[in-house]
Every structure is written in C-alpha cells, then in structure tokens.
Chains A and B, each alone.
Chain A
Amino acid sequence: MLSFEAVHSYYGSSAVLQDISFEVDEGKLLAVVGRNGVGKTTLMRTVMGLTDRARGRIRLADTELQNHSTYERARSGVAYVPQGREIIGRFTVEENLRMGTFARRDGRREIPGLVYELFPVLEEMAQRRGGDLSGGQQQQLAIGRALAMEPRVLLLDEPTEGIQPNIVELIEDVVMRLNRDYGITVVLVEQNVPFARRAAHEFLMLDNGRIAAGGTIEGLTDELVDEYMTI
C-alpha cells in the first residue's frame, strides 16, 4: 500500500533520513520506533512532501508520490496527524473537521458519521474554537480531521504524547479499531513500546536517520529496545 525505496530526505543540505526502504501492506499497522531525533517525524513529513528535499521512490498503491506536491499527496489518500496536533486554532471544531473533507477523493463535503461515533466529544463541542480545546480533545479532533478525508493510509505521529491518561486509553483503542475493524492502513510513530507491541503487525527501528532493524512485531525484542531506545 505504502512503500519507500532508497529514500533520502533533507533539511537544508543535511540528510536527516538516509537510504530508507520499507513497505506496508494494505490493512497493516506499522510502528516506527526509536529515540528522539532519529528521524521518525521526518519520515512522516517525507511521505507528505514537507521536508526541503527528498530523493528515492515513495509509492502509495499505484501513485508515485515523490512526483507530487503536498496537496496532491493528500488527495491521493494519505492523512497526516502531526505531532503536536496542529489543529487550526481559530476554526471551530466543525470547521476543522470540514477542512479534512477537502482532501476527499470523491469531492464530497459531509463529515463521516464514524468521526462523531468514535469521538462523541467532538459533536458536543462542534461550535467551539479548536484553540480552546484541551490537549486530549485536540488530539481527538486531529484524528477526526484525518478520518474526515476517508484516508487509505493514516500517518499518526505520537498520538498519545502529552495527553491525560484517561484519553490515552481512548486513543489507543481508536487506533486499534481503525486498523482492525475498518481496515485502514496505519503508520504509527510511537515511543510507548508496550502499545506498539499490542497494536502493530510490523515495526521499523530507526537510529540516526537509518533503519536499524525491522520486520514483524515479534522481532521487536527487549534486547533491541535496550540497544536503540534506552538512554
């Protein structure tokens, strides 16, 4: 569904990602793990074309993403939920969700019922400004906005980081359901190893901009975690 072939990605002249190759099959959940600053977020931004420059091939099904600009990549079915959520503070909750529909492939503008079903709080707060929500609510909104475009691939960058514990559980549950029950292919950047082990089919361990290890999630052993994630 989504694949990288020998991808290098740059900020200015420094290569933040070097020679990255992987493939996520349709309906699978790939966890991208590693220490801070090893290039996990850059990998997500590279899919969207938000780094300064990249080379190599990035494919979504039959589309060669590397030849397209960011908005075209979105319209081909990739939804990006960035670290720090980045919802539009001055838009209402409903407007933020409606903005998600701009990237829909069928051009329709209604917000899918699934969004409010998974996150009832968004319906209650529909007319509140995005900037006035709590962190946990904003995270739900950010995921809701991504779902509004009915994506083929969902990119989630640390969706539970800095969220109050009771919401963490909800979000983890939603991520699992989206993948297992609704068949959405997910790439999940995650520091929380137990959750990554529960949720993912496959993993990718990054270290210093390169792939240190990868494969099925059973291969994410304590030894690997100790070597590449413990500070």
Chain B
Amino acid sequence: MAVESFFSQAFTGLSIGSILLLIALGLAIIYGSMGVINLAHGEFLMLGAYATWFMQSQLGVGLLGSLVFVFVMVAAFGWLLERTIVQFLYHRPLDTILATWGIGIMLQQGMRLLAGGELRYVELPGSLDVTLSLMGLELPLYRIFIIVLTVGLLAATWYLMKRTEFGMRLRAVTQNRAIAESYGINSKRVYSLTFAYGAGLAGVAGALVAPIKSVSPDMGTAFVVDAFMVVVMGGVGSLLGAVVSAGVLGELTAGVAYLLNDTLAKVLVFLTVIVVIRFRPQGLFPDRTRS
C-alpha cells in the first residue's frame, strides 16, 4: 500500500510537472531567445482556455478538435501584439515588463466584458474521461494524455530550435543580431514568429488545463508565477533546465501536498526556488558561452 501510494503521488507529481512545463515552455522560448519578460503570458493561456470553452459551448467542437485552432488563434494574437507593441521595446526591458503587464490586465478586463466574469467549465473529451487501473494504481487517462502531449510538444520545440533552418536563424539572431542581419536574416520576422510560437504554446496549455481548472478571466495570474519559477530555476534559454525544474517542482508539490498540505507545498516550492537561485543565480542549467 505504501509503495502504491508512493507511485500514485509520483504520477500526480509528473502530471503537475508536465502542466508546469507546458505553461513554461512558451515563456522560456520568448524569454530565452528574445530577452522579453512577457507578463501577459498567463493571459495568452487564458485566451486559449476561453477559445476552447467557446468552441465547445457555442460551436459544439470538442477539446481535441479545438487544439490546432486554439494554437493558431493565440499565435496570431501573439504575432499581432509583437508587431504592434513589443517590437518597439526590445531595447527597453523594464518598459517591456510594464507594457506586457498592462496588456495582461486589459486582456483580463476585456474578457470579463466579453464573456462575463463567472467561472466557465470545459468538459473532458468523453474518450479521455476514464481512469485506467494499472498494477493497483488508478491513473486518470486525461492526465496521461497531458503528459504525452507535453512530451510531444517538447520534442517538436526541440526539433524546431535545433534542427530546422528557422531555429538556426533564431539562434543566430539571439547570439549576434547585427551579424545575423548582415547574412540575410530578417531578425524582425524571426522575432515575431518566435513570439507567436511561444504565445501559441501558451494557448494550447490553456486549452489543456481548461477541463481540470475552472476558466476565468484572471486564471492566468497564478499560472504565470509558476511558469516564471520554472524558467528562472531551470536557467534562462535552457529547454533541459525547464524540463528538470518543472519535474522537480511538480514532484515537490505533489509529495508535500500528500504528506502535509497544499499551502505548505506552495511554501516549500517557493523556498526551493529561492535556495536554488541563491546558490546558482544562473539556474540549474545555465547557457554557457565563451567570448
């Protein structure tokens, strides 16, 4: 029994960690490659959740059928935001924080006006609303689905960054913008597409958390704090760092919540992040460079 509950908690931790990673991934890419601290990231997630709710309640399209649409819609929104506001602030990091924070508040209030302030609910896809019994463990299939999809999106992101020409262009711009431009790379276009991709990932995260958390205009706030902890602890610009720190924070949350309670788990997670940052200011996996 003790062994079973250990594995059961480990699974819960994995599930929490994969949601954390899903939310942090887009943030990590935007922060790591463009240096933009996007405080509206939580609102991108909120937009994704509302888009899913709208598709389901108004158009009768289920969660799975909406995912691609949600990605494209939130990505397009992110692209628009980058083109109209963020691109003018690259040289002014502090202003970027303020501007994206303001955008976040406007999006929250806008959604409150548009869809109302009450909580909205998104139903689980019927086919995933089952619990698997595996070696004495009760595993909700939807949680497994989230883990699998997170791994898939992580792999796709890794491939995009490391194996495609777009990724190479992005890495070149990140390391030396003037030289990248001097070799025919349109850095503005690279930046806006990257921002759009990060936003789209947040949208998908929003769609996936919609059935397990309630959907409300201010739902993004809590998520964005968690996501920032993942990025900061993992090390800016490191996909591996984001994976490891999401895993650690997820397991820690699940473990402590099981042994003690949720509030204490949150406190310990914050404490862990503070201790890690105290001794490793660059995060667990800093991006080492010469020159």
Residue-wise interface mask of B (264-291) relative to A, using a CB-CB cutoff of 8 A (1 in contact, 0 not):
0000000000000000000000000111
Does A71 lie within 8 Å of B176, measured CB to CB?
no
Asked if A103 lies at the interface with its beta carbon under 8 angstroms from chain B, I say yes
Stretch at the interface among B105-113, B137-145, B164-172, B211-219: B164-172
Given the contacts A50-B178, A99-B172, A89 and B183 also touching, CB distance less than 8 Å: no
With both beta carbons as reference points, the residue of chain B lying nearest to A76 in the complex is identified as B184
Q: Which residues of B contact A80 (CB under 8 A)?
A: 182
Cα A95 to Cα B165 in complex, Å, equals 10
Residue-wise interface mask of B (169-192) relative to A, using a CB-CB cutoff of 8 A (1 in contact, 0 not):
101100110111111111100000
Q: Which residues of A contact B181 (CB under 8 A)?
A: 48, 50, 69-71, 74
Asked if A90 lies at the interface with its beta carbon under 8 angstroms from chain B, I say yes
Q: Which residues of B contact A102 (CB under 8 A)?
A: 165, 169, 183-185
Asked if A144 lies at the interface with its beta carbon under 8 angstroms from chain B, I say no
Return A33 CB to nearest CB of chain B, in Å.
23
Does A100 lie within 8 Å of B183, measured CB to CB?
yes
Q: Which residues of B contact A86 (CB under 8 A)?
A: 176, 178-179
Of A50, A88, A145, A149, most B-chain CB atoms within 10 Å: A88
B-facing residues in A25-75 (Cβ within 8 Å): 48, 50, 69-71, 74-75
Cα A82 to Cα B179 in complex, Å, equals 9
B-facing residues in A64-122 (Cβ within 8 Å): 69-71, 74-75, 80, 82, 86, 88-91, 95, 98-100, 102-104, 109
Asked if A131 lies at the interface with its beta carbon under 8 angstroms from chain B, I say yes
Given the contacts A48-B182, A50-B178, A103-B184, A98 and B168 also touching, CB distance less than 8 Å: yes
Given the contacts A88-B176, A90-B175, A91-B172, A131 and B289 also touching, CB distance less than 8 Å: yes
Q: Is the interface of B mostly helix, strand, loop or mixed?
A: helix
Q: Which residues of B contact A104 (CB under 8 A)?
A: 184
Does B184 lie within 8 Å of A74, measured CB to CB?
yes
Does A71 lie within 8 Å of B187, measured CB to CB?
yes
Does B184 lie within 8 Å of A131, measured CB to CB?
no
Q: Which residues of A contact B168 (CB under 8 A)?
A: 91, 95, 98-99
Does B184 lie within 8 Å of A88, measured CB to CB?
no
Return A190 CB to nearest CB of chain B, in Å.
20
With both beta carbons as reference points, the residue of chain A lying nearest to B189 in the complex is identified as A71
Return B192 CB to nearest CB of chain A, in Å.
14
Cα A152 to Cα B8 in complex, Å, equals 65
Does A50 lie within 8 Å of B176, measured CB to CB?
no
Q: Which residues of A contact B186 (CB under 8 A)?
A: 69, 71
Q: Which residues of B contact A50 (CB under 8 A)?
A: 178, 181-182
Q: Which residues of A contact B171 (CB under 8 A)?
A: 88, 90-91
Given the contacts A50-B182, A70-B178, A91-B171, A131 and B291 also touching, CB distance less than 8 Å: yes
B-facing residues in A114-150 (Cβ within 8 Å): 131-132, 145, 149
With both beta carbons as reference points, the residue of chain A lying nearest to B181 in the complex is identified as A70
Does A75 lie within 8 Å of B182, measured CB to CB?
no
Q: Which residues of B contact A131 (CB under 8 A)?
A: 289-291
Q: Which residues of A contact B291 (CB under 8 A)?
A: 89, 131
Cα A95 to Cα B289 in complex, Å, equals 17
Return A129 CB to nearest CB of chain B, in Å.
9
With both beta carbons as reference points, the residue of chain B lying nearest to A88 in the complex is identified as B175
Cα A95 to Cα B175 in complex, Å, equals 13
Q: Which residues of A contact B172 (CB under 8 A)?
A: 88, 91, 99
Interface residues of B, Cβ cutoff 8 Å to A = 165, 168-169, 171-172, 175-176, 178-187, 289-291
28 residue pairs from A and B, CB less than 8 Å apart: A48-B181, A70-B181, A71-B183, A71-B184, A71-B185, A74-B181, A74-B183, A74-B184, A82-B179, A86-B179, A88-B171, A88-B175, A89-B289, A89-B291, A90-B175, A91-B168, A91-B171, A91-B172, A99-B168, A99-B180, A99-B183, A100-B183, A102-B183, A102-B184, A103-B182, A104-B184, A109-B165, A131-B289
The 7 residue pairs across chains A and B that have the minimum distance between CB atoms: A103-B184, A70-B181, A74-B184, A102-B184, A131-B290, A89-B291, A80-B182
